[in-house]
Amino acid sequence: MQDNNQKSIASAILIVGILIAGAILLKNGNVNSPAVNKPISKTIGLNVKSFNTCLASGKFKDKIQTDIDSGVLAGVNGTPSSFILKDGKVVGIIPGAQPLEQITKQIEDILKNEKTPLTTELRPVSSDDHILGNIDAKIIIVEYSDLECPFCKVFHNTMHQVVEKNNPNVAWVFRHYPIPQLHPKAFHEAEATECAWEQGGNKVFWKYMDKLFEVTPSNNGLEESML
């Protein structure tokens, strides 16, 4: 009698285990389904066919390379690298992914006090740049960034807070600086942001880039099919 009870209990445990395993597999299957893991272009409402045609064409390679070249000329040697401009002149530098508190202190200091312009050959901000915030802001932060850089991913969120906290005194300019030796996928992802811009201007450019930074695990971890 005791043996029969033990067999019944063992069978019940086995059945429960199978049911739990099946539920886990079903759940994981839903997470990885196309309905959930849609490409960014589809998620934000782009014309996916036009987007893919643009991305395959390589039409924005020169534009991205122009950003890279300007970064090299300005002395960028890693990402993120940012320059603080006041009245069009570079008066400060943000090395790496500094925290919100540090950047806020820099901004407050620059707004209150006169600063001697730094010697750097930074390309002037123009209408060709991707600008977020008040275009007539007293301070403009020009960032050079790599879309697969984990520090850039963190700093991207910080910069959104900087603009929100200091509106309308601070605007943010994003420039591409993919580093192929570290992140071979970053240049192609930069092209993707420009293809988004082509369909909807700066508003859609920022929307696409925000989503890309949200979903990428960084360090070359984003699948091309997600673009």
Does 82 or 24 have the greater pLDDT score?
82
Q: What is the pLDDT of residue 44?
A: 97
Note the pTM of the prediction, 2 decimals: 0.83
Say yes or no: 106 and 145 in one domain. Answer: yes
Answer yes or no: is pLDDT of 166 > 50.
Answer: yes
* Cα dihedral: 62, 65, 66, 70 (round 10): -170
What's the CATH code of the domain at 87? 3.40.30.10
20 and 97 together in one domain: no
In terms of domains, do 29 and 55 share one? no
Q: What is the pLDDT of residue 36?
A: 54
Q: Are residues 134 and 215 in the same domain?
A: yes
Domain ranges, residue 163: 40-226
Do 15 and 84 lie in a common domain?
Answer: no
Q: Which residues contact 20 (CB under 8 A, 6 or more apart)?
A: none
Question: Do 98 and 184 fall within a single domain?
Answer: yes
- Residues 100 and 124 occupy one common structural domain: yes
pLDDT at 191 over 90: yes
Q: Could you read off the pLDDT of 9-56 as tens digits, one per residue?
A: 334 433 434 333 344 333 443 333 333 589 999 999 999 999 999 999
pLDDT cut 90: percent of the chain above it: 82
Q: 76 with 177: CB under 8 angstroms?
A: yes
81 and 164 share one domain = yes
Q: Rounded mean pLDDT of 156-175? A: 96
pLDDT digits (tens, 9 = 90+) for 112-146: 999 999 999 999 999 999 999 998 999 999 999 99
Query: In which band, very low, low, confident or very high, does the pLDDT at 7 lie, cut at 50, 70 and 90?
Result: very low
Number of residues that make up the chain:
227
Residue in the block written with tokens 């520090």: 151
Q: Would you say residue 8 has pLDDT above 60?
A: no
- Joined tokens for residue 102: 């540090």
Q: Based on the fold, state whether residues 96 and 2 are members of the same structural domain.
A: no
Q: Which helix (H) or strand (E) holds 130?
A: strand 130-132
pLDDT score for 10: 38
Number of folded domains in the chain?
2
- Residues 178-190: tens digit of each pLDDT: 999 999 999 999 9
211 and 140 part of one domain? yes
Q: Are residues 12 and 92 in the same domain?
A: no
**17 and 70 assigned to the same domain:** no
